[in-house]
Each structure stands twice: as C-alpha cells, then as structure tokens.
C-alpha cells in the first residue's frame, strides 16, 4: 500500500455517466484550459456582490460545455450523472480553485424540486435559466425565531382573490441581495409541519426589502429579508398548499455531495499552515502533534466520504457524521492559525487568508445544520436514544 505523505492529493473512484463519460484526467484538463473571467475566485457555495459577474460568466461557460446541473434528467439539460461523477467534478473544481457553479440554490436545491413537484409552466419558465446561470436564486427559509426548528416559522401566506399575500421576515438568506428569484417557505395553516407551503418569489416584487449582514470576515453573503404585503399570483405556489415541509425536506442533502471538496480545501490550508510555521520557526513538538492529529483526521474523513459517495445514498447517516466531523475539523484547523501567527492573528482578515479562515471557521459548525442538531439526529435516528426534552 502506498504511504500517505504530507501534501498528497487524495483521489476517489472515477465512476461516470454511461454515455462517453469524461475521465478525471479529462475534467482536470478541461478546467486547466478553461478561460477564467477576470476576478473569478473559488468563493464557496455563495458569491458576494463582487463575485456575481465573473461567476455568471464562468457558469455560462460551464453550461455551454455541459458541466452544469449534472444530476438533472437529460430532458431538462442534465446528464443523469451518478453521485460519484458529480462528486468527482466538484472535487476537480476544488483542485482547480474555481467554483463548480454559480451557487448551490438554483442547480442543487430549486431545480430538482421544480422538476419533481413544479408545474409544466414552472419547468418551462425557470429550469433553463437556472442551467445557464441567467437567473440567480436564493432560499427564503430561516427566520429570527425559526432557524434550527424551521417548522416553527411565522411568515404568513394568506390567500387573496388573485393569489397570495406574504408577510414576514427571513434571515441568513445567502445571496438574497443579488438574487433574481427566491424559493420561499411560508405558513398557510396552523399545523406545524403540514401548514407550510412553498412559493417562487421574484425578488423585485414590491414589498420586499433586503438588508445585507456584514460578517466578521468583512464579507456580506447573508441577508435579512422583509416581506410586507408582498402580492404573488396563484401560480407562484409550488406543489399543493400544505406540502411545503415535504418539499423542504426534498431539498436537503445536496450539500453532502461536496463534503469532499471541503477536504481538498483543508489539505491545502494544512499544507500552507505547516509551511508558515516552518518559516516562522514555531513548529515545535506541541504544534507538530496538533498538526499531525488533524492531518490524520482529514484523511479519515476523506476515505469515509469516499465510501459514502460510492454507495450513492445521500440519506445515509454517514453523511450526518461527516457533516459534524468535517465542520469541527475545519474549525480546529482554522484555530491553529493563532498558534502559527501569534499576535498577527489580530490583523484585518482582508489582509491575511489564515485570519479570515480562523474567523469564519466557527460558522462551519452552524451552516447547513448546527453540530448540536447533527448530534441529535445521530443520537435519535441512528442510535435510537430518547428524544431531547424541549
């Protein structure tokens, strides 16, 4: 067996679509040769305002070559790609340091729900602009008092003579300031779960106010969204009234596919931290042990993710384990920046990548389901322990 060394690139199996599938080498060559728009960077799942234009150009280039919405059915512009091929493409984009698509919301969350539950008009109107990157979407789910307990949301959708009137507030809405459309979860009945419905909302509709939230690292990817007497037509409803919770659950899980790209980023950052510690002369035995433990944990995560992806079941409890441990490993790796930088860790995050990762590392244990929620899921649904008292 080949020994693993610091700086090695992990690999996964290269299962791909049946019709003349590109190999990993093909994908790597394509991404290396692709023209990169000025200002393009690997910004993660959500672009900032400065990222929007280069990201739109990049997504359009990928779409023109058949590399967007890989998991969609062929009739809607996808290639029915298996989970392993989707993961391989995401990973190669991480190696190339480019985003794999404009954002996660349109291609990964909204598109599949519209394909399964949307009307023919929804599909004809929204799917192709998602595939090409012409439309940016955001998710209007979380609220000030309904984050982890999403089913407790209070935003109301009341029927009118011509459709629906929406009143309420959303928060932590990634990319809402630049979005053309939003997918909204609102209450249409008093039942906690069966009283929720889902709507398509043009973000330019009168009554919508978006306020960006400035993050600790200086970026503003999240937003507050206020909806005051927002009028929507009847066909804005996706599925049936009261079906919103079912649709929201159908959206979950797509982020699990890209946990391997987090591993790629962590390996790179670990390598850079080790190099910086050498340069500064601070890589003593204590710091070395911490670096080694994290390096071993990252490889274990990497291979666990590979096994989960190869099984192709995105609902597997393995992904909850991976989400939990990946988030906390990323946080711990980011915290090592204080040991490497010393007092320089107090500098402006715009001036130092290590400082920026140190600050946002904490968010990894909150985004996409908090570590506490992930532990509850594993305790109750996998281990069969009693539910946590509320």
Give the residue numbers marked as catalytic: 255
Q: Between the CA atoms of 250, 251, 256 and 258, what dihedral angle is there, to the nearest 10 degrees?
A: 140
Q: Residue with structure tokens 């490993």? A: 329
Nearest alpha carbon to residue 137 among 174, 112, 164: 174
Instruction: Report the alpha-carbon distance of residue 160 to residue 233 in Å, rounded.
Output: 9
Give the whole-angstrom CA distance, residue 127 versus residue 129: 6
Pick the closest to residue 62 from 136, 132, 135, 127 (CA basis): 132
CB-CB contact of 272 with 266 (8 Å):
no
Q: How far apart are CA 68 and CA 76, in angstroms?
A: 11
The partner residues of 200 in beta bridges, in order of sequence, read 183
Which three-class secondary structure state does DSSP give residue 111? helix
For 240, other C-beta atoms within 10 Å of its C-beta total 12
> Alpha-carbon distance 98 to 32, whole Å?
10
Which residue is associated with the tokens 């670990």? 270
Please state, in angstroms and rounded to a whole number, the distance separating the CA atoms of residues 161 and 150. Answer: 29
Query: Quick check: helix, strand or coil at residue 118?
Result: coil
357 vs 332: CA distance, rounded Å: 11
Closest among 235, 79, 64 to 162, alpha carbons compared? 235
Taking every pair of Cα atoms in the chain, the longest distance, rounded to a whole number of angstroms, is 72
């Amino acid at each position: 067996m080949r020994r693993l060394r610091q700086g090695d690139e992990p690999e996964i199996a290269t299962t791909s679509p049946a019709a003349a599938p590109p190999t990993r080498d093909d994908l790597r060559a394509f991404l290396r040769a692709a023209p990169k728009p000025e200002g393009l960077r690997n910004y993660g799942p959500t672009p900032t305002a400065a990222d929007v234009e280069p990201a739109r150009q990049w997504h359009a280039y990928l779409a023109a070559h058949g590399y967007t919405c890989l998991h969609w059915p062929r009739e809607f512009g996808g290639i029915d790609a298996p989970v392993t091929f989707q993961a391989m493409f995401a990973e190669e984009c991480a190696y190339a340091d480019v985003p794999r698509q404009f954002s996660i919301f349109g291609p990964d969350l909204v598109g599949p729900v519209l394909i399964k539950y949307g009307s023919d008009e929804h599909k004809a109107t929204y799917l192709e602009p998602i595939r090409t990157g012409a439309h940016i979407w955001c998710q209007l789910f979380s609220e000030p008092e309904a984050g982890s307990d999403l089913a407790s949301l209070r935003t109301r959708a009341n029927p009118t003579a011509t459709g629906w009137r929406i009143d309420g507030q959303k928060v932590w809405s990634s990319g809402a300031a630049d979005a053309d459309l939003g997918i909204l979860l609102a209450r249409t009945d008093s039942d906690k779960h069966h009283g929720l419905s889902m709507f398509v909302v043009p973000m330019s509709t009168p009554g919508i106010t978006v306020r960006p939230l400035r993050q600790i690292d200086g970026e503003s990817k999240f937003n507050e969204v206020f909806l005051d007497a927002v009028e929507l037509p009847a066909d804005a409803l996706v599925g049936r009234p009261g079906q919103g919770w079912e649709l929201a659950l159908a959206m979950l899980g797509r982020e699990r596919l890209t946990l391997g790209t987090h591993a790629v980023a962590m390996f790179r950052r670990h390598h850079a931290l080790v190099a910086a510690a050498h340069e500064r002369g601070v890589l003593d035995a204590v710091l070395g042990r911490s670096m080694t433990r994290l390096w071993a944990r990252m490889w274990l995560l990497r291979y666990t993710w590979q096994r989960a992806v190869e099984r192709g079941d995105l609902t597997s409890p393995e992904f909850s384990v991976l989400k939990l441990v990946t988030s906390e490993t990323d946080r711990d790796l980011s915290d090592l920046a204080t040991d490497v930088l010393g007092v320089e860790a107090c500098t402006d995050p715009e001036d130092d990548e290590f400082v920026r990762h140190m600050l946002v590392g904490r968010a990894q244990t909150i985004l996409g389901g908090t570590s506490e929620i992930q532990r509850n899921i594993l305790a109750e649904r996998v281990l069969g322990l009693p539910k946590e008292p509320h």
